[in-house]
Structure 1
Amino acid sequence: MSNEVIKPAEEKVDTENSATESTNKESTAETAAPANAEGAAAAKTPEPTTETTTPEPAAAEEQDAGGEMDFGAMLAQFEQEQVAYHAGEIVSGKVVGISDQVALVDFGYKSEGVVPIEEFTSPEGEITVGQGDEVEVMIKRIGGDGAPNLSFSDAKNRKSWDEIDQAFKDDTVVKGKITAKTKGGLKVDVQGVEAFLPGSQIDSRPIRNLDALIGEEIEAKVVKFSRKRNNIVLSRKVITDLEVNKQKAETLAKIEEGYIVDGVVKNLTDYGVFIDIGGIDGLLHVTDMSWGRLQKPDDRFKVGDTVQVKVLKLDRDKEKVSLGYKQLLPDPWSTVIELYPVESRIKGRISSVTEYGAFVELEPGVEGLVHISEMSWAKRMKHPKHFVSKGDEVEVQVLGIDPDERRISLGIKQLQANPWDTIAQRFQVGSKVQGKVRNLTDFGAFVEIEDGVDGLVHVSDISWSKKIKHPKDVLKKGQEVEAVITNMDIPGHRLSLSIKELTPSAWDTFTAEHKPGDVVKG
């Protein structure tokens, strides 16, 4: 820089010396002219002698001072003409030197400024600038002894803030990279400045897994800006809303109930799956995923899956769409009559157990119910779980089919020997039997005389002499009793029993002890 300053100064001195010499020569020529040609001089108006012969005082001083005085004046003038630089100002300059510690930048000042080499070093340790590169830097300190201190990072940061501020004012888009998850949202790097993207402003649809977005490049708009508070809030949703609303309008205009559409699984819940069919999320309920029993939606679908579904219901006003997946598959109930005729025996797997019975899956989408009363001829159970468990493979008999209601009645005990089929071989009317009181009702007591065979002792058949209001007055549940079979209805699986028939009635005793004509007292 010093050589550059010196050179212009020398050129200016030479120019002024040449001008002085030229002036002196012209003055000498004008003085000699009247002596040689007096007639010509008389015809002209003579120039004032002060302008032609007398040199300017300043010029004379410059001549007297010599070359050194001329250089000092020119240097002072050069310094006065220098641009005034201030700390905090951003200037452009050229990299003129690079060392292990600093980069020298010529930005038009009388001496080069220095930038810490760390500001031109990548995370991998590589120098990102070369000699001759144009850079923008911020003046951190200038004046006094020593080279000006400059900062490339601060200039870049200032410029980024200015551009983000302008984007906020103009409502234009900024680009950034998601760097980390934070409380309530995400951190975004926008041109080296950290901004906050709230979770509610990430997308038009809820985003469950924020970690999956880290490292992604996004476009967003600045919705809050405060340089003083170092606060920048972004919204990506305002951009996606425009596109989503456009897609939604197009989709709602072209679909109808019954249409088959392609979509992408966006979210999973316990009750179903939300599928994007083009700007609008339709609900695929768990009951419409499979003809069979499906416990959880994630057993069949995953986020990001592309699926084909059928539009079951459409409400354009509320922008709600119900979708179906199983409706695109053959309905297994359309062939159940042919596959499972009544009285046929088939194998299946227990899919669930309830208080009133167990459901048996015959094939995916087809289940039948084994009622608790159809599980065993002999065993008396309070709950089917004491007889079967979920996952058990069982053989059943088809008792009835209702395809319209999608119901199949099944039985397990029908595959076992029915004690009622051979009861006549073991018991007859008048036979004395022994059994256990199984149940007490207002009208009598049920007595189990063998596994699977109960008889009813009516309250009137308990005693000849006692007037019994309720069987519990004389009998207890679980009590062992003897009785006589008074009637058998084998097709109806009914036996009538009597306890009082074990003893003669008062009439039988009286008639046995007396004859017509006997005198009695009473």
Structure 2
Amino acid sequence: MSEEMNMMENRDFQVGDRVKGTVLKIEEKAVTVTIDGAPFDGVIPISELSSLHIEKASDSVQEGDTLDLVITKVEEENFVLSKRKVDAEQAWDDLEKKFESGEIIEAEVKDVVKGGLVIDLGVRGFVPASLVEDYFVESFEDYKGKTMTFKIVEMEKENNRLILSHRAVVELEKESQKEEVMDSIHPGDVLKGKVQRIASFGAFVDIGGVDGLVHISQLSHEHVEKVSDVVKEGQDVTVKVLSVDRDSERISLSIKDTLPGPWDAIEEKAPKGSVHTGKVKRLVSYGAFVEVLPGVEGLVHISQIAHKHIATPHEVLTEGQEVQVKVLDVNKTDKRLSLSIKELQEKEAEQDYSDYEMPEESSGFSISDVIGDKLKGFKSE
């Protein structure tokens, strides 16, 4: 065939033309294809096979595959072709629609590189390390070959820039889950949870995708100085829902309300007649409140403090003082204990003159006679 005839046949195939080619031969760094209607074959360099780096051409295509290609160069009796550019053109159009709609994309992690993950979506997509998960990841080695979900967060076709995020998908799922949980829980519900983090004012507990706050006052029936004295991060706990504010997405929880109260079984813990060592918590005009068990205070009425008459409890007691008390009465319904201190103290002996007898009249002595001699000693001479 003359050179003139070849040039005439090649006029229908120009740089930029889209053609279909069938893989005829695969070499390590190039692929030879036959092109429908073309007078000679074309070559696809390995760099034009995929948007990703590949070591061998056979990693991307197989003999007999039919490929969509674009002519990048017309040489004498040869075409230089690109599969990558066709794939990219089609991919960008599709990805642009997904970006605008916020669609979630499922894809396999093709490679792990410094700083993140590489995804093949027809064009090279990159997931920065900070956008892989919503928590810190030490190593991404196990991510290669893993199928994951992503959202496009940045794309610039002209700069061949495509940034993806799996973290955005995770956060979206958690937000959806949070709404479901918020709608499903109600005050009074008792739930299982895990302590996520501790603050000076309380503990945040995960109750199934949403955190609720257990205020320090709701940790225990006893007074709590430090939250960490009662709960630890990662600890499994049972909580009661106190309130749900859907507008501010705040949930108030209580651990205390799931625990036996200090007055439960009080008749067994402090039965009538039992003796306890307690601490004076408060002094009032009518008596003293003494804590006999954690969270349980009883009243020692002023009349039960001492055998002798006292005007105020402050005469014999001080706040913080340890005392022994006897239980006089138990009222679980009203949460009242009547206590006594004086019943545990010996009554001071009072002077008793009943055994003394006055001298009989027949004796002729009077009181003055009996003590008269004594008085004489006090008279001045």
| TM-score, structure 1 normalization | 0.40
**Equivalent in 36, 42, 47 of residue 112 of structure 1:** 42
- In structure 1, how many angstroms separate the alpha carbons of the residues matched to 2:216 and 2:120? 42
Matches within 5 A, 1:202-241: 207-211=134-138, 215=143, 217-234=147-164
Matches within 5 A, 1:213-362: 215=143, 217-234=147-164, 250-261=180-191, 265=194, 267-270=196-199, 271-277=202-208, 280-285=210-215, 288=218, 295=228, 299=232, 301=234, 309-331=239-261, 334-335=264-265, 338-339=268-269, 343-344=275-276
1:359-378 per-residue CA deviation (whole Å, 9 max, x = no partner) reads: xxx9xxx599xxxxxxxxxx
Does residue 94 of structure 2 align to residue 163 of structure 1? yes
1:433-461 per-residue CA deviation (whole Å, 9 max, x = no partner) reads: xxxxxxxxxxxxxxxxxxxxxxxxxxxxx
Determine if contact 2:28/2:56 at 8 Å carries over to the other structure: no
Determine if contact 1:260/1:310 at 8 Å carries over to the other structure: yes
**Equivalent in 15, 20, 25 of residue 86 of structure 1:** 15
Determine if contact 2:153/2:164 at 8 Å carries over to the other structure: yes
Matches within 5 A, 1:98-137: 98-108=26-36, 109=38, 110-116=40-46, 127-137=59-69
**Equivalent in 111, 119, 125 of residue 194 of structure 1:** 125
Kindly indicate which of the two structures has a greater share of residues assigned to helix: 1
Does residue 105 of structure 2 align to residue 174 of structure 1? yes
* One-letter amino acid matched to 1:106: T
1:312 to partner: Cα distance? 1.5
1:400 to partner: Cα distance? 9.0
RMSD between aligned residues: 5.4
Q: Specify the alignment match of 2:376 in structure 1.
A: none
- In structure 2, how many angstroms separate the alpha carbons of the residues matched to 1:220 and 1:144? 45
* One-letter amino acid matched to 1:129: V
Determine if contact 1:268/1:298 at 8 Å carries over to the other structure: no
Report the CA distance shift for 1:195/1:131 in structure 2 as closer, same or farther (over 3 A). Answer: closer
Determine if contact 2:220/2:255 at 8 Å carries over to the other structure: yes
Determine if contact 2:219/2:254 at 8 Å carries over to the other structure: yes
Matches within 5 A, 1:23-62: none
Where 1:228 maps in the other structure, the secondary structure is helix
1:143 to partner: Cα distance? 1.6
Where 1:295 maps in the other structure, the secondary structure is helix
**Equivalent in 54, 57, 75 of residue 143 of structure 1:** 75
- In structure 2, how many angstroms separate the alpha carbons of the residues matched to 1:167 and 1:190? 15
1:156 to partner: Cα distance? 4.0
* One-letter amino acid matched to 2:13: A
Which consecutive unaligned segments of at least 5 residues does structure 2 have? 279-292, 297-321, 336-345, 347-379
Report the CA distance shift for 1:397/1:295 in structure 2 as closer, same or farther (over 3 A). Answer: farther
Where relative contact order (Cα < 8 A, 6+ residues apart) is larger, the structure is: 2
1:3-30 per-residue CA deviation (whole Å, 9 max, x = no partner) reads: xxxxxxxxxxxxxxxxxxxxxxxxxxxx
Which consecutive unaligned segments of at least 5 residues does structure 1 have? 1-70, 347-361, 369-395, 406-420, 422-515, 518-522
Determine if contact 2:243/2:252 at 8 Å carries over to the other structure: yes
Matches within 5 A, 1:509-520: none
Where 1:299 maps in the other structure, the secondary structure is coil
- In structure 1, how many angstroms separate the alpha carbons of the residues matched to 2:23 and 2:137? 42
- In structure 2, how many angstroms separate the alpha carbons of the residues matched to 1:125 and 1:297? 63
Where 2:61 maps in the other structure, the secondary structure is coil
Report the CA distance shift for 1:287/1:161 in structure 2 as closer, same or farther (over 3 A). Answer: farther
1:117 to partner: Cα distance? 9.0
Q: Specify the alignment match of 1:413 in structure 2.
A: none
Determine if contact 1:274/1:281 at 8 Å carries over to the other structure: yes
Determine if contact 2:104/2:149 at 8 Å carries over to the other structure: yes
Determine if contact 2:23/2:31 at 8 Å carries over to the other structure: yes
Q: Indicate the structure (1 or 2) with the bigger Cα radius of gyration.
A: 1
Determine if contact 1:282/1:320 at 8 Å carries over to the other structure: yes
Report the CA distance shift for 1:298/1:144 in structure 2 as closer, same or farther (over 3 A). Answer: farther
- Identical pairs, percent: 21
Where 1:165 maps in the other structure, the secondary structure is helix
- In structure 2, how many angstroms separate the alpha carbons of the residues matched to 1:193 and 1:140? 20
* One-letter amino acid matched to 1:107: I
1:248 to partner: Cα distance? 5.0
Report the CA distance shift for 1:79/1:244 in structure 2 as closer, same or farther (over 3 A). Answer: same
Q: How many residues align?
A: 284
1:275 to partner: Cα distance? 1.5
| TM-score, structure 2 normalization | 0.52
- In structure 2, how many angstroms separate the alpha carbons of the residues matched to 1:81 and 1:118? 22
Determine if contact 1:284/1:322 at 8 Å carries over to the other structure: yes
1:310 to partner: Cα distance? 1.9
* One-letter amino acid matched to 1:135: L
Determine if contact 1:286/1:297 at 8 Å carries over to the other structure: no
